[in-house]
Amino acid sequence: MTKIKIDPVTRIEGHLRIEAEVSGGKVTEAWASGTMFRGIEKIVEGKDAREAWIWAQRICGVCTTVHAIASVRAVEDAIGATPPPNAELVRNLIAGSQLVHDHVIHFYHLHALDWVDVVSALKANPAKASQLAQSLSDYPNSSRTYFQAVIGRLKPLAASGQLSLFASGYWGHPAYRLTPEENLIAVAHYLDALEWQRDVIRIHAVLGGKNPHPQTFVVGGMATSLDLNSPQAVNAERITFLRERIATMRTFIEQVYIPDVLLVASAYPEWTSIGGGTKNFLTYGGYGSGPIGDTASYLFPRGIIQDLDLTTVLPLDPANITEQVARSWYSYEGGDQAALHPYNGETNASYTGPEPPYQWLYTDREYSWLKAPRYDGQVMEVGPLARALVAYAAGVPAVKQSVDATLKKLGAKPAALYSTLGRVAARALESEIVMSRLEGWLDQLERNLNSGDTRIADTAKWAHSSWPQSARGFGPHEVPRGSLGHWVEIQNGLISRYQAVVPTTWNASPRDAQGQPGPYEQALVGTPVADPSRPLELLRTVHSFDPCLACAVHVLDAAHAGQRTTVSVEPT
Amino acid sequence: MLPSGQTLPECLAERGVSRRAFLNFCGVMAATLALPASYRTQIAEALATVDRPVLIWRQFQDCAGNSESILRSPHPDVAEIVLETLAWNYHELIMAGSGAQAEAMSTQAVRDLKGKYIAVIEGAIPTGTGYCTIGGRSALDIAREVAGNAKVTLAVGACAWDGGLVQHGPTAGQGVQDVVPGASVVNLGGCPHNPANTVAVLVYYLTFGEMPELDQYNRPLFAYGDLIHDQCERRAYYDAGLFVEAWGDEGHRKGYCLYKMGCKGPSATYNCPEVRWNDGTSWPVEAGHNCIGCAAPEFWSSMSPFYSRLPNVPGFGADTTAETLGLAVIGGTAALMAVHAGGKFVQARVGGGRDGVDRPADANAGAEPLGEQAPAAQLPAVDSPATEGRTAEAPTTDGDPGTEERSETGGSLDEDQD
């Protein structure tokens, strides 16, 4: 038995550590630890609930916007504000483009190097690569000259021995299996994707002022100026600009991203039976055509799949969600074995790990800054795979067709989804589905504006005087990495308690009071390890979840309502 | 010279970037840096012969928003390559290797290139045990090693500058200048930093071998020297007394001033209205939301509540200057305002050891806003950001020449907009 550690796990957001026991060339037990804590959200307590989203958005800059959306929804739920249809459409456009953008960055810049050997690409024959690329799709960047230029770009780096960001990779590892030409195509698309993501996210700049951290959300709607005829608003010209970006998105998804995912999936078929893990999946659902409360209109339905039974979608009741801290660096006032619903959540940091610098964590005790969320006491995986499985089981036509067609291309059965590559495929498929909705949302927005409906916010609920004295609310949002929920309690317009349960907290959770390992920890068991000093295979499964650790160590807790931050500017 | 033996323009040509596009890029950089246009050639020549310094980007108590922001860097074709002219050897978010292989990149730079590499720090740094460890080492230990041995350290974003919102939480995370006092730190505040400015700082550094002129917070003046209010495209509406009264009202659709919605533009500096975001596409005020002053010192405490209007304004319209507005704001903001009322001043360079290279004499000339002529000697004494941020009462600026001059010319600032 060998014990290995990966710290830091890079190509993720945040600071993640994996410890694992390897025996007979396979992982037999694994521990996932979040090694950074900010507790930033303790300070939202006493803040004007209308600005909670500005603070909460800073939980994460990779999944930027998602906490802003969950936050305004939670406050709106509490005070009974109803964003008008235009605001829902702008939110869908921001959230949908963020999801697609994030998935592409994940595949190319955070995950691809687990499958693609950059150094091997240097040996490729550009003419052969061109031939292969043209057989895969109609993407125009596929000439011999184009691939020659990519090699020309990499060669000076390699020749200098200074590979920059690529310097520390596991090149030449026996687990890499793509041909030099396939590697070259993927590296070329890695570079193209860098440019693509800079361009398409300008959708957020138009609708939100900037990205990362767009800045036009408001409780009750949006602050985006909309007027087709105003030079100082999102006008006809800006709508055309958005339409062009959506078209760019479509081209890249259809001609580059999906074909590349299929290329990787075809080359690594055994990874459709590795990395499954927990058999329970949860999703809040979302991306509807109406208000957030209209769950019937959701593109991705709400529900639970239990024990991989795709014949039944179980209903989801947010009241059954709890968080545990028995193996985390926190304590609960009522005892660390307790399981608390977010409305009663507590966050008392209590580091009991080893004094740094350390070699190993105390994995038999507390070992992570993540709590352990559970549904009805059970471990749940959230994310694109959960959304796909629930939608597939519920018979959502867009998802069913897309999943079936992909499985057919790969010659695989639905069970293949329950794997490392299943997560990768689910992410690509939902990118295509959400991308194809963006244009419709934009059309609808333009129609509304044309018909004279320029409403963008529920202004009747802006002033605190229109709010109940005390209120609490829940804000769900399906984000790239899974199901995100914010829970808020408000007293006299100010936040008295705030909790978030975040996708990576579900997926990267440590063991709970019953000793049940979290989804990463379960998925890693059985993963092959060819070379324990270069554990590339573990990274494949961990990255397939798209970890986001800043999100995961959320601690959105404002339990001490008595304290108020002294403010120096008078509230309106 | 690039490793291949090519010059950068040759290397760019091979990648389909013309000499002209490269010069355009250098021109944009000169403009962002507020250098005279003639510096375009100097930048181009310097970048053509640059010798790929190593860059180590470390993240601590962060959200990776500043990393994501640099990925959105404008002028992609060329900026990317300019970045490639650096050996970008460590960056947790996107580097290829993990674990020991990753950490070796950082420790090697410290060991082999002491005093020669560039460090970038993102996120706050806690001093308590266990709040942030990477590879089993504390963030504080790593920060001291990496920033302490770098030639220069860029602190990107609010958290790395002064602790950002992390400093208000239970871990009380701090900025890099506070936990590594000997380091040569340039602060690039903002939430996140604007990559246009950070790339410009790197280009300036590669061109002139030193950092551009800095303010009392060690921020580059070209980016942090001017009030947002003075550069705002909605300023004319402010002067005319036309304000947004509610989200989505007629004034909001027509782009009236957001002051009444809580805009902090009158009390915050940044070149946000000038360089905008995402390749110049927009910025929050253009999109319709008030400025939250995210590049101001300790903005999470000095600028919140974000939707409350700046108080004690003696009437709206042309008789009100940014300076009188700013004076009404508390503590740090008021002190900051006084500094601006007194005119832009320049203080010491970062750390020591870079005094050998002369700055262009008029490097900052292009950045001077109208009417700011007051000599540095008239400025209030400020020891440090910390003490200034806690100043209870704002120094008076009554009779300050800068105030008068700017109020006279404020209305014409829109002419500077693109």
Question: What pLDDT does B17 receive?
Answer: 73
Q: By CA distance, what is B284's nearest residue in A?
A: A209
Q: By CA distance, what is A147's nearest residue in B?
A: B15
Q: Where are the alpha helices (DSSP H) in A325-383?
A: none
Q: Does residue A198 contact residue B76 with C-beta atoms inside 8 Å?
A: yes
Whether residue B102 lies within 8 A of chain A, CB to CB, comes out as: yes
Q: Does residue B144 contact residue B110 with C-beta atoms inside 8 Å?
A: no
- B205: its two tokens: 């550094």
Sign of torsion over alpha carbons A380, A381, A387, A388: negative
Question: What pLDDT does B392 receive?
Answer: 33
Chain A closest-CA separation from residue B105 CA (Å): 7
Candidate from A220, A222, A550 with C-beta closest to B64: A550
| DSSP 3-state percent helix, strand, coil across chain A (nearest 5) | 45, 15, 40
In angstroms, what is the C-alpha Rg of chain A? Answer: 24
Interface test with A, best of B2, B57, B68, B88 (most A CBs within 10 A): B68
Q: By CA distance, what is B84's nearest residue in A?
A: A164
Estimate to the nearest angstrom the gap between the alpha carbon of A561 and the chain centroid: 31
B200-209 pLDDT tens trace: 999 899 889 8
Strand order in the sheet with B87-91: B87-91, B54-59, B118-122, B152-156, B185-188
Chain B closest-CA separation from residue A314 CA (Å): 34
A219: pLDDT strictly greater than 60: yes
Q: Looking at beta carbons, which residues of chain A come within 8 Å of B103?
A: 8
* Cα distance between residue B233 and residue B236, in whole Å: 7
- A479: its two tokens: 């984000």
A91-139 pLDDT tens trace: 999 999 999 999 999 999 999 999 999 999 999 999 999 999 999 999 9
Question: What pLDDT does B326 receive?
Answer: 40
B336-359 pLDDT tens trace: 433 333 333 333 333 333 333 333
Task: Decide if A59 and B248 are in contact by the 8 Å CB cutoff.
Answer: no
B83: pLDDT strictly greater than 70: no
Candidate from B86, B169, B278 with C-beta closest to A201: B278
Chain B closest-CA separation from residue A223 CA (Å): 5
- Nearest-10 Cα torsion for B359, B361, B366, B370: 130
Instruction: Name the E strands within B20-171.
Output: 54-59, 87-91, 118-122, 133-134, 137-138, 152-156
B201-256 pLDDT tens trace: 998 998 898 999 999 999 999 999 999 999 999 999 999 999 999 999 999 999 99
Q: Looking at beta carbons, which residues of chain B come within 8 Å of A64?
A: 65, 68
A341-377 pLDDT tens trace: 999 988 889 999 999 999 999 999 999 999 999 999 9
Question: What pLDDT does B75 receive?
Answer: 66
Q: Coil, strand or helix: which one is B418?
A: coil
Question: What pLDDT does A562 receive?
Answer: 32
Q: Nearest CA to B222 among B235, B234, B208?
A: B208
Task: Decide if B97 and A10 are in contact by the 8 Å CB cutoff.
Answer: yes
Q: With pLDDT > 90 as the criterion, what percentage of chain B qualifies?
A: 55
* Cα distance between residue B92 and residue B102, in whole Å: 8
Give A440's contacts (C-beta < 8 A, 6+ positions apart): none
Chain B closest-CA separation from residue A11 CA (Å): 5
Whether residue B11 lies within 8 A of chain A, CB to CB, comes out as: yes
Q: Looking at beta carbons, which residues of chain A come within 8 Å of B329?
A: 568-569
Q: With pLDDT > 70 as the criterion, what percentage of chain A qualifies?
A: 96
Q: How many residues does chain A have?
A: 572
A239-266 pLDDT tens trace: 999 999 999 999 999 999 999 999 999 9
Candidate from B84, B134, B169 with C-beta closest to A40: B169
The one-letter amino acid at A332 = Y
Whether residue B248 lies within 8 A of chain A, CB to CB, comes out as: yes
Question: What pLDDT does B79 receive?
Answer: 58
Task: Decide if A215 and B287 are in contact by the 8 Å CB cutoff.
Answer: yes
CB atoms within 10 A of CB B417: 11
Q: Which of residues 44-83 of B touch A (CB under 8 A)?
A: 52, 54, 59-69, 71-74, 76-77, 80
In angstroms, what is the C-alpha Rg of chain B? Answer: 21
| Chains A, B: CB pairs < 8 Å | 366
Beta bridge partners of A499: A487
Residue-wise over A65-91: b if at least 16 C-beta within 10 A, else e?
bbbbbbbbbbbbbbbebbbbbbbbbbb
Candidate from A40, A170, A226 with C-beta closest to B97: A170
Mean residue pLDDT of chain A comes to: 94
> Where is pLDDT greater, at A229 or A163?
A229
Q: Looking at beta carbons, which residues of chain B come within 8 Å of A58?
A: 63, 65, 164-165, 191
Q: What dotted CATH number matches B228-343+381-412? A: 4.10.480.10
Distances in Å between the Cα of B298 and the Cα atoms of B159, B267, B302, B341, B393 are 9, 13, 6, 20, 17
Task: Decide if B191 and A170 are in contact by the 8 Å CB cutoff.
Answer: no
Q: Give the model's confidence band at A41: pLDDT under 50 very low, under 70 low, under 90 confident, else very high.
A: low
Interface test with A, best of B58, B69, B271, B281 (most A CBs within 10 A): B281
Task: Decide if A209 and B279 are in contact by the 8 Å CB cutoff.
Answer: no
Q: Looking at beta carbons, which residues of chain B come within 8 Å of A216?
A: 284, 287-289
Task: Decide if A164 and B87 are in contact by the 8 Å CB cutoff.
Answer: yes
Chain B closest-CA separation from residue A57 CA (Å): 9
Q: Looking at beta carbons, which residues of chain A come within 8 Å of B137?
A: 356-357
Ranges in chain B annotated CATH 3.40.50.700: 8-209
DSSP state of B56: E
Angle A127-A128-A133 from CA coordinates, rounded to 5°: 100
Q: Give the model's confidence band at A39: pLDDT under 50 very low, under 70 low, under 90 confident, else very high.
A: confident
* Cα distance between residue B334 and residue B396, in whole Å: 10
* Cα distance between residue A483 and residue A379, in whole Å: 14
Residue A104 buriedness (CB in 10 A; 0-12 / 13-18 / 19+): buried
Q: With pLDDT > 90 as the criterion, what percentage of chain A qualifies?
A: 89
A63: pLDDT strictly greater than 90: no
Strands B54-59, B118-122: pairing kind:
parallel
A329: pLDDT strictly greater than 50: yes
Chain B closest-CA separation from residue A374 CA (Å): 24
Instruction: Name the E strands within A190-244.
Output: 217-218, 221-222
Q: Does residue B93 contact residue B67 with C-beta atoms inside 8 Å?
A: yes
Q: Nearest CA to A385 among A551, A253, A525, A545?
A: A545
**Main-chain dihedrals φ then ψ at residue B31, nearest 5 degrees:** -65, -45
Task: Decide if B168 and A40 are in contact by the 8 Å CB cutoff.
Answer: yes
Q: By CA distance, what is A168's nearest residue in B?
A: B97
Task: Decide if A13 and B93 are in contact by the 8 Å CB cutoff.
Answer: yes
Angle B410-B414-B415 from CA coordinates, rounded to 5°: 110
Question: What pLDDT does B82 receive?
Answer: 65
Chain B closest-CA separation from residue A412 CA (Å): 30
CB atoms within 10 A of CB B376: 11
B364: pLDDT strictly greater than 70: no
Candidate from A163, A222, A230 with C-beta closest to B253: A230
* Cα distance between residue A275 and residue A505, in whole Å: 18
Q: Does residue B326 contact residue B311 with C-beta atoms inside 8 Å?
A: no
Mean pLDDT of the region A513-528: 98
A207-218 pLDDT tens trace: 999 999 999 999
Annotate A122-184 with three-state secondary structure: CCCCHHHHHHHHHHHCCCCCCCHHHHHHHHHHHHHHHHHCCCHHHCCCCCCCCCCCCCHHHHH
Interface test with A, best of B52, B71, B78, B98 (most A CBs within 10 A): B98
Task: Decide if A194 and B80 are in contact by the 8 Å CB cutoff.
Answer: yes
The one-letter amino acid at B78 = V
A435-488 pLDDT tens trace: 999 999 999 999 999 999 999 999 999 999 999 999 999 999 999 999 999 999
B298-330 pLDDT tens trace: 999 999 999 999 875 434 444 444 444 444 333
Q: Nearest CA to A545 among A118, A196, A30?
A: A30
DSSP state of A106: I
Which residue ranges form the domains of chain A, and what is each CATH number? 2-323+376-552 (1.10.645.10)
Task: Decide if A454 and B288 are in contact by the 8 Å CB cutoff.
Answer: no
Task: Decide if A358 and B133 are in contact by the 8 Å CB cutoff.
Answer: yes
Strand order in the sheet with A16-23: A2-6, A16-23, A26-34
Q: Looking at beta carbons, which residues of chain B come within 8 Å of A195?
A: 76-77, 80
Strands B54-59, A494-501: pairing kind:
unpaired
Where is B241: in which H helix or E strand?
A: none
B322-336 pLDDT tens trace: 444 444 333 333 334
Q: What dotted CATH number matches B8-209? A: 3.40.50.700
Please compute, for residue A544, the number of CA atoms within 13 A of its CA located in the half-sphere on the CB side. Answer: 33
Residues A464-471: contacts with CB within 8 Å, 24+ apart?
A464/A48, A464/A492, A464/A493, A464/A571, A466/A79, A467/A79, A467/A493, A468/A79, A468/A80, A470/A496, A471/A78, A471/A79, A471/A80
Task: Decide if B132 and A149 are in contact by the 8 Å CB cutoff.
Answer: no
Q: By CA distance, what is B237's nearest residue in A?
A: A232
A65: pLDDT strictly greater than 70: yes
Task: Decide if A9 and B98 are in contact by the 8 Å CB cutoff.
Answer: yes
What is the full DSSP assignment across B112-134? HSTTTSEEEEESBB--STTSBEE
Instruction: Name the E strands within B269-412.
Output: none
Start-to-end CA span in chain B (Å): 35
A171-193 pLDDT tens trace: 999 999 999 999 999 999 999 99
Beta bridge partners of A34: A16
Mean pLDDT of the region B19-35: 86
* Cα distance between residue A142 and residue A132, in whole Å: 9
Question: What pLDDT does B77 receive?
Answer: 57
Ranges in chain B annotated CATH 4.10.480.10: 228-343+381-412
Task: Decide if B246 and A459 are in contact by the 8 Å CB cutoff.
Answer: yes
* Cα distance between residue B123 and residue B136, in whole Å: 18
Q: Which of residues 374-413 of B touch A (CB under 8 A)?
A: none
Question: What pLDDT does B414 receive?
Answer: 32
Q: Does residue B95 contact residue A164 with C-beta atoms inside 8 Å?
A: no
A545-561 pLDDT tens trace: 999 998 888 554 443 33
DSSP state of B59: E
Task: Decide if A109 and B131 are in contact by the 8 Å CB cutoff.
Answer: no
* Packing angle, helices A258-267 and A180-200, rounded to 10: 150
Q: Looking at beta carbons, which residues of chain A come within 8 Å of B326?
A: none
Task: Decide if A168 and B96 are in contact by the 8 Å CB cutoff.
Answer: yes
Where is A348: in which H helix or E strand?
A: strand A348-349
Chain B closest-CA separation from residue A504 CA (Å): 14
pTM over 0.90: no
Distances in Å between the Cα of A408 and the Cα atoms of A138, A414, A430, B186 are 21, 10, 17, 55
Q: Looking at beta carbons, which residues of chain A come within 8 Å of B282?
A: 205-206, 209-210
Whether residue B331 lies within 8 A of chain A, CB to CB, comes out as: yes
A62: pLDDT strictly greater than 50: yes
Give A241's contacts (C-beta < 8 A, 6+ positions apart): A202, A206
- A404: its two tokens: 């079936």
A19: pLDDT strictly greater than 70: yes
